[in-house]
A and B are shown apart, each in its own frame.
Chain A
Amino acid sequence: MVAVQETVDRVRRIDVDQYRYGFETLIESEKAPKGLSEDIVRFISEKKSEPAWMLEWRLEAYRRWLTMTEPTWARVNYPKIDYQDLYYYAAPKPKKTLSSIDEIDPEILKTYEKLGIPLREVAILEGVEPPPGGEPSEQRRIAVDAVFDSVSVATTFQKELKKAGVIFMPISEAIREHPELVRKYLGSVVPTSDNFFATLNSAVFSDGSFVYVPPGVRCPMELSTYFRINERNTGQFERTLIIADKGSYVSYLEGCTAPQRDENQLHAAVVELVALDDAEIKYSTVQNWYPGNSEGKGGIYNFVTKRGECRGANSKISWTQVETGSAITWKYPSCILRGDHSRGEFYSIAISNGYQQVDSGTKMIHLGKNTSSRIISKGIAAGKSQNTYRGLVTAHRKATGARNYTACDSLLIGDKCGAHTVPYVEAKNSSATFEHEATTSKISEDVLFYCVQRGLSQEEAVGLVVNGFVKDVLQQLPMEFAVEAQKLISISLEGSVG
């Protein structure tokens, strides 16, 4: 029938390889020799002018890593990674101490401009006159730490944050400038022995962000890190450490993209959050690493360990993630609820299209009394992708009055994809209340036809239905991120119907 043919043609016209951040920046870079050895670990540590304790920490992790094997329990398939065929360090050249943004390689500035990441504070700094009749530009006040391959190239708003007592800087600098804080907290949530990828990260991490919010301080603006992998055959191993001291609050955003390449690239990050008494950390991610092309070639292998510890009483950690990129996603942002009355939250939208494989979820580990957690996961599978939610909710013997609510919903678009839900629930005391709800549904032809009969195009109809499906989670994102995420969701699903 003509109408059907029309739809098929229209979908065919849409380029599946729609990744909009796939460009490469041509700059000279300095790399460590390929491969991994003690010498490489020493090389990285030396490049960063690290103190001896840090090198020891890394070497211990490296030696342990040698004894570990890659985990195989996730529902993902990929060819064996040759860890000796990777570069573990790449930095834009020349690397010298920058005193102002103007000294950054203009090519890098252009890169971030193209990505829509503001590295120039100028227009939004205090004292800049708003246009006549215009609003003061309050809404775009976000401090950015930009990580390009292995190093941080710029961190904005540092001065203003300093005034509030907030430390926000590349972790490589924090190791030198605030060793007491880093030593106390680094590895205290994700120990060097935690898992294969986290241990590898501990040995070779090259940069990332460090945040410390002092007691009673509400961080005056959103903090964000923007990760970009540019170099070929280079792994990115960033490390983020956020500490919210007693009674403080911070909201942190993370974004990521990478050029379009035929080879797969490895990304193995570690994020550690520590919330002390009455503190709150809100961590939001919009992950848009290159997902590979329509035949499943290329794309980022995203093996990430993210964990927060509610160490103090009444503390709260909230993870929100929108996962649309990567060829493989292996990621379980988790909360250890150690403090009494602490609260953990996990809100997730994971979209897979093409040949993407997602195995993601969370762990809520209830240790303290009257702790509570909430998990809202929305998985959307299209194309030939596989999308798995894997979650663990556990209550310790002493975690009396623990409460959890979990809702996992999966939406299938087309009939060649798969959605899987693997929840583990474990209560070691009888006073725990755990609720779990799960649904799997398909965008039906009838719903799509209803929408197109009312004038929407097929693509608009899918976008509308999906955005309705993920609404509960989108509402958790900071306003302007939510708008971006909504657009990203529509782009990720282009070409998924037909």
Chain B
Amino acid sequence: MALLEVKDLQVRVEDREILHGLSLTVNPGEVHAIMGPNGSGKSTLSHVIAGKPGYEVTGGQILFRGEDLLEMAPDERAAKGVFLAFQYPVEIPGVATMNFLRTALNAQRKARGESEYSTPDFLKKVREVSKSLNIPQDMLKRGVNVGFSGGEKKRNEILQMALFEPSLCILDEMDSGLDIDALRIAADGVNALRSPERAMVVITHYQRLLNYIVPDFVHVMAKGSVVKTGGKELALELEGSGYAQFEHAA
């Protein structure tokens, strides 16, 4: 069974239709890149899958392991294994990162009917993962994303991805605001999480990120739908020709 099936999805924000009949199928173990110019609806797609308020689905459906995702509250989707790495992770002052990670992880486990992590197990796990991502321990004591650099914020997103072990990871413009070294560290973190059970949807404007996270499929979005699908070579092709051709075609 497909992990994620988006069928003929139509989405409005206020009076404007942003997605008109978008379809996408993602199987376990696959990495899909979604590329497209600004305003093509890439981020809208990621938000609607994760359940962000403010979008009206006027047609189509989203199935996650065959279940209707649109019927679930955002926190239920998270517990089912949908993870969205934010383009702009928010700051939560006064809430220590460690406390946040633990509260969230245990909330998810509780929702799935699993037992909560014991403190030593949790700490061990966080230490392992944060070390591999080059995240210093004192960063975990600071407020969530408060005073973090752009690179630290993105690494914090990947840290959560590694801890929560979701089956679907959506990475929204992970490369924005990162220099080349920070990008490499983040990409290495993501690559370490690739597995036959886990699928990833990588949303990006530039081809650059895909040199580090090599996708199995590339979809080009323009004006609210997928206009072309191909292998990883499609990204390189776009690097040369740009998006203009698709904007006219759409």
Binding site for B on A (CB under 8 A): 1-4, 6-7, 10, 444-447, 449-458, 460, 464-465, 467-472
Is A453 within 8 A of B50, CB to CB? Answer: yes
Is A464 within 8 A of B78, CB to CB? Answer: no
16 A-B pairs besides A1-B70, A453-B74, A464-B92 with CB distance below 8 A are A2-B57, A6-B73, A444-B90, A449-B52, A450-B92, A451-B92, A452-B75, A453-B86, A454-B164, A455-B164, A457-B73, A460-B107, A469-B94, A470-B94, A471-B94, A472-B94
Cα A464 to Cα B102 with chains together (Å): 12
Is A460 within 8 A of B103, CB to CB? Answer: yes
Is A449 within 8 A of B94, CB to CB? Answer: no
Query: Contacts A1-B53, A3-B51, A468-B95: A450 and B90 contacting too (C-beta < 8 A)?
Result: yes
Cα A472 to Cα B94 with chains together (Å): 8
Give the nearest-CB partner of B56 in chain A: A1
Interface residues of B in 187-206 (CB under 8 A from A): none
B75 partner residues in chain A, CB cutoff 8 A:
452-453, 455-458
- Tell me the smallest distance from the CB of B121 to a CB of chain A, in Å: 18
Cα A446 to Cα B84 with chains together (Å): 13
Is B78 within 8 A of A465, CB to CB? Answer: no
Cα A4 to Cα B74 with chains together (Å): 9
Cα A264 to Cα B208 with chains together (Å): 66
Is B105 within 8 A of A452, CB to CB? Answer: no
Instruction: List, sorted by A's number, 9 A–B pairs whose CB atoms are closer than 8 Å.
Output: A1-B57, A2-B70, A3-B52, A3-B72, A449-B74, A450-B92, A451-B92, A453-B86, A457-B75
Give the nearest-CB partner of B143 in chain A: A468
B78 partner residues in chain A, CB cutoff 8 A:
452-455
Q: Which of A3, A7, A447 contacts B92 (CB 8 A)?
A: A447
Is A456 within 8 A of B73, CB to CB? Answer: no
Is B74 within 8 A of A468, CB to CB? Answer: no
A456 partner residues in chain B, CB cutoff 8 A:
75, 103-104, 107
Cα A447 to Cα B95 with chains together (Å): 12
Is A455 within 8 A of B73, CB to CB? Answer: no
A460 partner residues in chain B, CB cutoff 8 A:
103, 107
- Tell me the smallest distance from the CB of B175 to a CB of chain A, in Å: 20
Cα A452 to Cα B76 with chains together (Å): 9
B83 partner residues in chain A, CB cutoff 8 A:
453
B143 partner residues in chain A, CB cutoff 8 A:
468
Contact with A along B84-111 (1 / 0, CB 8 A): 1010011011110000100111011001
Query: Contacts A445-B53, A457-B107: A467 and B94 contacting too (C-beta < 8 A)?
Result: yes
Is B79 within 8 A of A465, CB to CB? Answer: no
Is B70 within 8 A of A455, CB to CB? Answer: no
- Tell me the smallest distance from the CB of A164 to a CB of chain B, in Å: 38
Assess whether B54 is interfacial by the CB under 8 Å rule: yes
A4 partner residues in chain B, CB cutoff 8 A:
53-54
B105 partner residues in chain A, CB cutoff 8 A:
455
Is A454 within 8 A of B104, CB to CB? Answer: yes
- Tell me the smallest distance from the CB of B44 to a CB of chain A, in Å: 12
- Tell me the smallest distance from the CB of A90 to a CB of chain B, in Å: 43
Query: Contacts A455-B105, A455-B108, A460-B107: A446 and B90 contacting too (C-beta < 8 A)?
Result: yes
Is B74 within 8 A of A467, CB to CB? Answer: no
Cα A1 to Cα B60 with chains together (Å): 12
B50 partner residues in chain A, CB cutoff 8 A:
449, 453
Assess whether B71 is interfacial by the CB under 8 Å rule: yes
Is B55 within 8 A of A1, CB to CB? Answer: yes
A465 partner residues in chain B, CB cutoff 8 A:
92, 95
Assess whether B160 is interfacial by the CB under 8 Å rule: yes
B94 partner residues in chain A, CB cutoff 8 A:
467-472
B111 partner residues in chain A, CB cutoff 8 A:
455
B57 partner residues in chain A, CB cutoff 8 A:
1-2
A444 partner residues in chain B, CB cutoff 8 A:
90
Query: Contacts A10-B73, A468-B94, A469-B94: A455 and B51 contacting too (C-beta < 8 A)?
Result: no
Most buried by A among B56, B90, B94, B164: B94
